Amino acid sequence: MQLLGTGFYWDDLEVGAQYQTYGRTITETDLINFVTGTGMLESLFLDAEYRKRHSAMEGQAAPALLVLSFAEGLVLNCTGQATGLAFLNMEMDVKLPVFVGDTIHVELEVSEARKTSKSDRGLVKTRNRIVNQRGETVIEYSPQRLMEGRAG
């Protein structure tokens, strides 16, 4: 019996294939839980009066690492559940801020998929764009993952 929700195997992915995840709205609860859980207790994230006086942005900005974490959750729920073995490397470029109330999704394109020297495992690299509800790219990142191959 096939288990629903299983991610892609590396050898099912073709270079150039493109995918889009569902969206996720960033809430104030998400922000507070993230910054307190990580110890990222900056006034920019926690003090409304400080933001009014010192921030170059209007609104309650979310840390880029929170946005990246949520993006990875969206990607893994769609592509790597039970087939992803390791997150190996990443390049990241933050383009625009994300604020509480913004909704993000991820658009990804497979840029590399190749067999490793061991077993049926493969290395998969993608170009990922985190996009907000206005269609603006807020973060671009390129993760490389070790993934299982299709058995047999």
Quick one: pLDDT at residue 6?
Answer: 77
The pLDDT value given to residue 2: 61
Structural domain spans, the chain:
10-147
Q: Is the pTM of this model over 0.85?
A: yes
Q: What pLDDT was estimated at residue 152?
A: 46
Q: What is the pLDDT at residue 1?
A: 53
How many of the other CB atoms lie within 10 Å of CB of 37?
8
> Is the dihedral angle over the CA atoms 51, 55, 61, 65 positive or is it negative?
negative
Q: What's the pLDDT score for residue 4? A: 61
Q: How far apart are CA 45 and CA 34, in angstroms?
A: 10
Per-residue pLDDT of the chain (152 residues; tens, 9 = 90+): 566 677 889 999 999 999 999 999 999 999 999 999 999 999 999 999 999 999 998 899 999 999 999 999 999 887 768 888 999 999 999 999 999 999 999 999 999 999 998 788 999 999 999 999 999 999 999 999 999 998 74
CATH superfamily of domain region 10-147: Hotdog Thioesterase (3.10.129.10)
The helix/strand/coil state of 7 is coil
Query: pLDDT tens-digit profile of 6-20?
Result: 788 999 999 999 999
Residue 85 phi/psi, 5-degree rounding, is: -105, -35
pLDDT of residue 38: 96
Number of H helices, E strands in the chain: 4, 8
